[in-house]
Structure 1
Amino acid sequence: MTSIHRRLFALSGVSLAAGLLLAPVAHAAETAWPTAKPITIVVPHAAGGAVDGVARTLAERLSAELKQSVVVDNRPGASGLIGTATVARADPDGYTLYFNASIHAAAPLLYKSQVKFDPIKDFTPIGMVAQGALIFSVNPQVPANTVQELTNLVKANPSKYSFATSGFGSAGHLGIAQFAAEAGLADKGIPIVLYKGAAPALQDLIGGQVHAMMDPFLSSLPQVKGGKLRAIAQTGSTRSPLLPDVPTVKEAGFKDFEFYSWYGIWAPAKLPRPVLKALESATEQAVKSEPFKSKLNGLGFDAVFRNSVDFNKYIISETAKYQTIIEKSNITIE
């Protein structure tokens, strides 16, 4: 072996050794998450609503699982489009996350010209964490104690009654639209009044300015328990233990009707796989923990975990369902 060959061999050995030394370091850097930097969960809705309530419950459990500060940042506006677009543009470093409900899948179908993001391509789904049936309630002055009685009443006097919803494209909006279609009310011209949040919608429902509404347990149950509203049905497949005497819409004679709001957590697209797996695992442990399940059950939700892959499939299937409801009900932005 010549001297030059010996030098090249020696250098190649040094390079190989350096590569072997650097590989674990690079891998460690890639998986060294989280650091001391706080994790922020952006909620594109105002504080106090159903989405915010579930998000804060999850943040508390994630903080315990990751031993890291996890904070909720409410960024409401434009039915959630503003906060959602902010996360879509954020760095995929695992420190900016996004929490939303089923409106994540519905909004792009409704706000086509205004949406600045793709709900599938611009996000990394981490996991679904909960679902909840809606309470179908009426103002106590409405002379209807069942869904069928309300249906008959509205059919006989379509100009006299209106439905409230907490927002355009919300679960309550699409739930009412689906019900109206199945009840033969879609072509009656019954107003669906759109509010900016559950609080003003419930206030007008209690006051009698509107007459019926589908809304999550979190915001409607206290009004029902307080006698300010009358629950005539709930939209899940089975009765909730929180309202054991209130039948489901299915029991009321609409055998194909079942509607849930669902909640999940995402990160921006291209989240590194090690970070995704760490977040997915922490989310699963959080959702399956007794404190999380107990807290959600008390708010009228079920803790339901779907991993990243299954959640993505679920979003796609729900999007197709919402598209059908929107087309059948001819829901458009005015």
Structure 2
Amino acid sequence: MTTLNKKLSRLLPLSLALLFLISGCGTNSAKSGAGASAGAGGETAVPAASQAASASSAYADYPNRPIEYVVPFSAGGGVDLVARTVVEGLSKEWGQPIEIVNKPGAGGATGAQYALKQAANDGYTVLADNVASTTMLQAGSAAAPLLLSDHEFAARVVTDAPVFVVAADAPWKDFREFSDWAKANPEKLTWTSVGPAGFSTFAVAEWLKAIGADFSKTRMVATKGASESLPLVAGGNAVLAVHTVNETSTLVKAGKLKVLAILAPERSPYYPDVPTTAEQGVEGLSVSWWTGMSFPKGTPQEIVKKWEDGVSKLSQDPDFIEKLKKLQLDPNVLTGQEFTDFVNKEAEYYTGLATQTGIRK
């Protein structure tokens, strides 16, 4: 055997031993880390902290393109005006355009279905939510096209009190006299609403139930919202409209409408001379108006949270507050679980009212 071969023969056992030691250490190391790095079926699992970091980073640049903000009522109504005020503030804050898209119809259901059922749940389609397109919609029908479970609730922005308005030349001097007339002549009472389960419908039904009038004998005049409804009443084409302080103020100031009562615990600072319904002998009324925003189910929570935080920040902005005051509104923000709990409780009450008065079919 040559000298080289002799040297190789001596080195070979040492090399094999070293290789065995290295592979053994690697196997033990893999076994000791299996619980943390392998999941069911041998798949590599990512630690929870890494998953959270990845999710957060995925939405860190949201929004990075225009957002569609769907208003399920006609332009010029309360939901629309608040939505435009909100998007003006948030688009400036986030540096991305937020485009208002009005999709009225079916008491708010048309636009709500588009935003929650047809659009992607990627945060780039938002519903300008409202009491009529959420709790009242679900309460008003046993086969409602949308349920609360279809919403990912983000934030309530404002609340407003309903007011009962009639034409400026209507014969009733106050709400008490008008209530007596409605109880005696329900078949002559016509009132406007966006649909059988609209906001005005619930307000009228609750009022008639409280005074002992027959709701079923009255007649609804269907409209697409306050901007269509109020001129009908002012022109004598319907007897009554129930809309918010914000929505009624223009025609009231113009002398076209007369406010008979405000449905609120206290008088409105915007209608200080108008007595509440309770002051005029009709107690126990609680229907109220609100608007906010929600997303389709499955929308990433990081995106929903960004809207929650954005609205909360806006509500502290003097410029935003001043713009709402010009609409005769004040911020009344609820976010997260508080908002969800609020709508669940409200839906329970409205379902009972709808059942008792015959709204729910």
Q: With the length of structure 2 as denominator, give the TM-score of the two structures.
A: 0.82
2:186·2:214 contact (CA, 8 Å) conserved in 1? no
Mapping of residues 22-171 of structure 1, within 5 Å: 26-89=54-117, 90-103=119-132, 104-113=134-143, 115=145, 117-119=146-148, 121-171=149-199
Task: Kindly state the Cα deviation for residue 258 of structure 1 after the two structures are TM-superposed.
Answer: 3.1
1:139·1:230 contact (CA, 8 Å) conserved in 2? yes
Aligned with residue 236 of structure 1, among 264, 275, 278: 264
Q: Deviations over 1:166-225 (max 9, x none)?
A: 433222221111111111113572323332322332222112122122112233211111
Task: Kindly state the Cα deviation for residue 152 of structure 1 after the two structures are TM-superposed.
Answer: 1.8
2:68·2:125 contact (CA, 8 Å) conserved in 1? yes
Supply the AA of the counterpart residue of 2:153: P
Question: Aligned equivalents of 2:137 and 2:53: distance in 1?
Answer: 43
Report sequence identity in percent. Answer: 26
Supply the AA of the counterpart residue of 1:95: Y
SS in 2 for 1:87: helix
Gaps of 5+ in 1: none
SS in 2 for 1:288: coil
The alignment's C-alpha RMSD in Å is 2.8
Task: Kindly state the Cα deviation for residue 138 of structure 1 after the two structures are TM-superposed.
Answer: 1.2
Question: Aligned equivalents of 1:79 and 1:262: distance in 2?
Answer: 15
Shift in CA distance, 241/195, structure 1 to aligned 2, threshold 3 Å: same
Question: Aligned equivalents of 1:234 and 1:137: distance in 2?
Answer: 9
Task: Kindly state the Cα deviation for residue 288 of structure 1 after the two structures are TM-superposed.
Answer: 2.9
SS in 2 for 1:48: coil
Question: Aligned equivalents of 2:114 and 2:186: distance in 1?
Answer: 41
SS in 2 for 1:258: coil
1:154·1:161 contact (CA, 8 Å) conserved in 2? yes
Name 2:306's counterpart in structure 1: 278
Shift in CA distance, 221/262, structure 1 to aligned 2, threshold 3 Å: same
Supply the AA of the counterpart residue of 2:135: A
Shift in CA distance, 325/30, structure 1 to aligned 2, threshold 3 Å: same
2:74·2:224 contact (CA, 8 Å) conserved in 1? no
Question: Aligned equivalents of 1:188 and 1:97: distance in 2?
Answer: 36
1:163·1:191 contact (CA, 8 Å) conserved in 2? yes
Task: Kindly state the Cα deviation for residue 321 of structure 1 after the two structures are TM-superposed.
Answer: 1.7
Task: Kindly state the Cα deviation for residue 24 of structure 1 after the two structures are TM-superposed.
Answer: 8.1
Question: Aligned equivalents of 1:22 and 1:180: distance in 2?
Answer: 59
1:246 maps to 2:274: yes
Shift in CA distance, 139/36, structure 1 to aligned 2, threshold 3 Å: same
Task: Kindly state the Cα deviation for residue 329 of structure 1 after the two structures are TM-superposed.
Answer: 1.5
Aligned with residue 289 of structure 1, among 317, 332, 346: 317
2:315·2:331 contact (CA, 8 Å) conserved in 1? yes
Task: Kindly state the Cα deviation for residue 276 of structure 1 after the two structures are TM-superposed.
Answer: 2.4
Q: State which structure, 1 or 2, has the greater radius of gyration over its C-alpha atoms.
A: 2
Supply the AA of the counterpart residue of 1:3: I
Supply the AA of the counterpart residue of 1:303: P
Question: Aligned equivalents of 2:184 and 2:141: distance in 1?
Answer: 33
Supply the AA of the counterpart residue of 2:137: A
Aligned with residue 254 of structure 2, among 214, 226, 243: 226
Task: Kindly state the Cα deviation for residue 53 of structure 1 after the two structures are TM-superposed.
Answer: 0.9
Question: Aligned equivalents of 1:157 and 1:81: distance in 2?
Answer: 32
Aligned with residue 2 of structure 1, among 17, 21, 25: 21
Aligned with residue 292 of structure 2, among 250, 264, 286: 264
2:131·2:291 contact (CA, 8 Å) conserved in 1? yes
Supply the AA of the counterpart residue of 2:316: K
SS in 1 for 2:279: coil
Aligned with residue 224 of structure 2, among 196, 203, 217: 196
2:106·2:195 contact (CA, 8 Å) conserved in 1? no
Question: Aligned equivalents of 1:295 and 1:185: distance in 2?
Answer: 40
1:76·1:83 contact (CA, 8 Å) conserved in 2? yes
Question: Aligned equivalents of 1:155 and 1:310: distance in 2?
Answer: 38
Name 1:330's counterpart in structure 2: 358
The count of residues paired between Structure 1 and Structure 2 equals 329
Question: Aligned equivalents of 2:112 and 2:81: distance in 1?
Answer: 18
Task: Kindly state the Cα deviation for residue 128 of structure 1 after the two structures are TM-superposed.
Answer: 0.8
1:165·1:172 contact (CA, 8 Å) conserved in 2? yes
Question: Aligned equivalents of 1:28 and 1:8: distance in 2?
Answer: 35
SS in 1 for 2:267: coil
1:216 maps to 2:259: no
